Amino acid sequence: MAEILLFGAGKSASYLIRYFLEHAEEKNYYLHVCDPAAEALRSYHNSSRLVCHSLSVDETASCAERVKSADIVISLLPAFLHEKVALLCLEHGKNLVTASYVDAKMQALDAAVKAKGLCFMNEAGLDPGIDHMSAMKLLNDLKKQGATIFSFESFTGGLIAPDCDTNPWHYKLSWNPRNVVLAGSGSSARYLDNHELRFVSYPQLFQRRQVFEHPKYGSFEGYPNRDSLGYQKVYELDQVRTLLRGTLRKPGYCSSWNVFVQLGLTDDSYQMDLGDSCSGRNFFNSFLPYHRSKSLEEKVMEVPGLNLNGADMARIAFLGLFSNDYQLPQTKGSPAAILQAILEEKWRLEVNDRDLIVMIHRIGYQLDGKEHFIESSLALEGEDARYTAMAKTVGIPAALCAEEMLSGRFSKSGVLIPIYPEIYIPVLENLVPYGIKYEERQK
């Protein structure tokens, strides 16, 4: 018998929960879920193998009891809460899987985790996660042929399936909306471009775009994501001249989102109090200077450097930000929090909506004295608003990594990410039956 403990039953957890319950009888699993809303899972799953605990991670004593009895722990909580789970796992000698980036606090636990012979496997979701695993397999396969890699670009986007695309942003929320609003705001993006180091500050981020084409889903634009150079050593690309990881959106999204960045609507550093009621127009107007004769629309069109067009204005209008009739769903909080509340209404996935995941790797390599380019792409549509492609591509790889660790087949220790053949080969193979597979094209 194996007791699997999951912290967090939010948007990304649906497939992971279903995966373990589908295999529970065969593999003798019991899945324990800790989440303040865990009992709601019973409306989706009728299984004696599912045990729900209505617990917050801040209820330390109760959570510690759950960790003590677990065979492995998985955290799909927001990234800033992983440290609390990690410290409990360290104290009670349990392996841990997360789908989030390794931050400084998690990395600081590496020596202690190794000393106890434990494995804290992070970045085991989609991006980060499947991107690492698929990239490492492709890069290592090329190197085995004698290729020298000179360029690596990888872009991923969580989007909306074309026949469910009903708004001018061509976007709906399939994952943590706070992360969408604050995307890129933590620090400058850094990457390598033809041997030259590039830094892109947050105010410039959504202006630094490049175009991608997918054979089925058409055009996308990508902007840089975080610190690409942090993976140069990880991917063993010391001699590479271009290294860039980024995020995909449909054309037009970035130019319109840039309006909010430049005006300050994504600022999370201070609080607003707009009274008991406030229109979308009044909220938006509060970020622009007063003018005795110009309308809000005119003032927006004249903001230096934005160069807005009709499509940008239509996207802003769709969110109710030019409307006196649209009342904000939230009138207190940071600008980012108020904007998030608007987006949760306007970009909501309807019950039968299907999201779309697209990931594209572009690799340049030299072999037999010639330069070649290969493009490897993943595209996957979800089932509905609960069983999304985002939840599948985050939850299933995390579940498979946990299984490899439970089985003892993967025995490395420390604070790790899934870049080792012992983990990425079986995980990628076992993702294929779920439709998570790559198509490669020589360019």
The answer to whether residues 303 and 208 belong to one domain is no
The reported pLDDT for the residue numbered 27 is: 95
Domain contains 441: no
What integer is the mean pLDDT of 363-390? 95
User: Would you say residue 443 lies in a domain?
Assistant: no
Query: Is 33 within the bounds of a domain?
Result: yes
Domain shared by 96 and 134, yes or no: no
Question: Does a structural domain hold residue 143?
Answer: yes
Please count the structural domains in the chain: 3
Same structural domain for residues 114 and 249? no
Residues 320 and 369 in one domain: no
Q: List pLDDT tens digits, range 268-320.
A: 999 999 999 999 999 999 999 988 889 999 999 988 888 899 999 999 999 99
pLDDT computed for residue 11 by the predictor: 87
Beta strands in 304-433 (DSSP E): 332-333, 355-367, 370-381, 414-416
Q: What percent of the chain has pLDDT over 90?
A: 90
Q: Is residue 442 part of a domain?
A: no
Q: What is the pLDDT averaged over residues 3-19?
A: 94
- Considering the domain architecture, whether residues 33 and 47 belong to the same structural domain is answered as yes
Judge whether 287 lies within some domain.
yes
Q: Write down the pLDDT at residue 40.
A: 82
101 and 76 in a common domain? yes
- For residue 58, being part of any structural domain is answered with yes
Residue 47 neighbours by CB under 8 Å, 6+ apart = 21, 24
Tell me the HSE value of 28 on the side-chain side, using a 13 A CA sphere. Answer: 5
pLDDT of residue 270: 97
Going across the sheet that includes 96-98, the strands are 50-53, 29-34, 2-7, 72-75, 96-98, 119-121, 414-416
Give the domain extent around 313: 264-346
Decide: 420 and 405 in contact? Cβ < 8 Å. no
pLDDT tier at 42, thresholds 50, 70, 90: confident
Instruction: Please tell me the pTM assigned to this model.
Output: 0.93
Confidence of residue 200 (pLDDT cuts 50, 70, 90): very high
Q: What confidence score (pLDDT) does residue 177 get?
A: 93
What secondary structure does DSSP assign to 286-334, as a single string? TTS---SS--HHHHHHTSTTT---HHHHHHHHHTTTT-SSPBPS--EE-
Percent of the chain with pLDDT strictly greater than 70: 100
- DSSP-derived letter for residue 348 is P
